[in-house]
Structure 1
């Protein structure tokens, strides 16, 4: 077990990052996750279930758009959101000096 009492309140024991920077990092991380989850929910539940009747007036490749979102569109959006999260988190980690990459 590591003795955390030796570290100052301003820094974490393993890195020279202030507690304020850690809080700001997590605030940005949770904000990003919240936004991406709202997008995912809107696309999967909203477009596939709630707004299906409206979207079914348009078709993609012969399939109604609401059906397409329920079957494939929400999966495509989910994969895109994974890439967006990965890229954005890399930027956030570099911003707060928490990146694992050697610069």
Structure 2
């Protein structure tokens, strides 16, 4: 494998690691808090609503939007690190 292929491989490996991490967080929040832990979380209130209900209705969406911003920040850093940024 030549130097360019090695660099591309390292770039995509880090990219996929980032994707797996962020999607795992989203899965944990949307399914874990919104489905599996609903009964436990419903003991607490957020804005007058049970927390389990809130996570099922709003929390996973807010988390997904936050993860999109984190992905953009991480990918910009990764692009600069490997010299493929668009700036």
TM over 0.5: yes
Q: 1:48 maps to which residue?
A: 34
CA deviation string 1:75-101 (max 9, x = no partner): 000000000000100000110111111
Q: 1:76 maps to which residue?
A: 62
- Whether 2:17 is the aligned partner of 1:31: answer yes
Q: 2:81 maps to which residue?
A: 95
In the alignment, structure 2 segments of 5+ residues that lack a partner are none
Q: 2:44 maps to which residue?
A: 58
* CA distance in 2 between partners of 1:80 and 1:20 (Å): 31
Deviation at 1:10, TM superposition (A): 2.6
C-alpha RMSD over aligned residues: 1.0
Structural mapping, 1:4-15, within 5 Å: 10=2
The SS at the match of 1:44 is helix
- Counting matched residue pairs gives 87
Q: Considering fraction of residues, name the structure with more helix.
A: 2
Q: Which runs of 4+ in 1 moved over 6 A?
A: none
* CA distance in 1 between partners of 2:55 and 2:41 (Å): 9
